[in-house]
Amino acid sequence: MKGSAPKNVANPSLYAKAKAKARKKFDVYPSAYANAYMVKEYKKMGGTYKTPKKMKLGGSVYIEPRGCGAVQESRRKKVKVPRG
């Protein structure tokens, strides 16, 4: 997969342009800074990412808080978690 766009990229040619721009700007590529810059530029150029269908089917799932367990019923945190 070296040199190609990931499967979740909607516009691979635009992704390649953003990647080339990041490679030109940063001495070390890949790096966290270069990848963050590349994603920012890709989105600025109008690029989008595809989301898996399973992620859209997620629902609210209770996540048990850590600690002493003295959490009121009304204050339990509900978080969207993908199911599948």
pLDDT at 39 over 70: yes
Give pTM, 2 decimals: 0.58
Largest CA distance in the chain: 53
Give, rounded to a whole angstrom, the gap between the first and last alpha carbons of the chain.
26
Number of residues written out for the chain: 84
* Strand, coil or helix: 66: coil
Q: In this predicted model, which residue has the larger pLDDT, 6 or 63?
A: 6
Model confidence pLDDT, tens digit, residues 57-66: 555 666 665 6
- The pLDDT of residue 54 is above 70: no
